[in-house]
Every structure is written in structure tokens, then in C-alpha cells.
């Protein structure tokens, strides 16, 4: 059964190890060259709809729960 409208089959979702999954967050937290990072400006930067739309946020949250097989309170 496809997950959402992404066309993935449940057994084809590319899961990665915990170490690989957290690597980006660790890098972002400690990489000195990222110290000047900023929040996107919605008037001049391209912002994906799931970052601003409450409907898209809800859809992404539900998809994430389905992918990991667990529901989370928020």
C-alpha cells in the first residue's frame, strides 16, 4: 500500500541507522561555519509549504508517525 501520495511502498522506505540519522543534527550543532545561520525570510527565501501551512504540517506529522509505526503527542 503506498504511503501518502509519495508512491513509496511500506517495505521500500529507506531506513538508516540511528548514528546516520543523528549525524546531521550533531554536525549542525557543532560546526563553526554554521554560526551565522538564520531563519528563512518568507518574503525573500523559498519556503516549502510544510514549513508554513498548518494543513501540510499535520499531513507530514501523520506520515512520519505512520513511517515509524508510532504516534506521538504534540
**Cell representation of residue 42:** 518568507
Taking a C-beta distance cutoff of 8 angstroms, is the pair 50, 60 a contact?
A: yes
In the structure, what pLDDT confidence band is assigned to residue 1 with cuts at 50, 70 and 90? very low
pLDDT at 35: 82
For residue 16, what pLDDT is reported?
78
Instruction: Give residue 30's Cα distance to chain centre.
Output: 20
Q: pLDDT digit string (tens) for 7-56?
A: 556 666 667 788 888 898 898 889 888 888 787 887 888 887 767 888 88
Res 2: pLDDT: 47
Give the per-residue pLDDT at 39. 79
Rounded Cα–Cα distance for residues 17 and 11 (Å): 16
Give me the pLDDT at residue 58, please.
87
Amino acid at each position: 500500500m503506498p504511503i501518502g501520495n509519495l508512491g513509496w511502498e511500506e517495505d521500500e522506505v529507506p531506513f538508516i541507522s540511528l548514528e546516520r540519522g543523528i549525524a546531521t543534527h550533531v554536525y549542525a550543532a557543532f560546526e563553526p561555519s554554521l554560526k551565522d545561520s538564520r531563519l528563512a525570510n518568507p518574503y525573500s527565501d523559498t519556503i516549502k509549504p510544510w514549513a508554513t501551512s498548518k494543513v501540510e504540517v499535520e499531513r507530514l506529522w501523520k506520515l512520519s508517525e505512520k513511517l515509524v509505526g508510532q504516534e506521538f503527542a504534540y
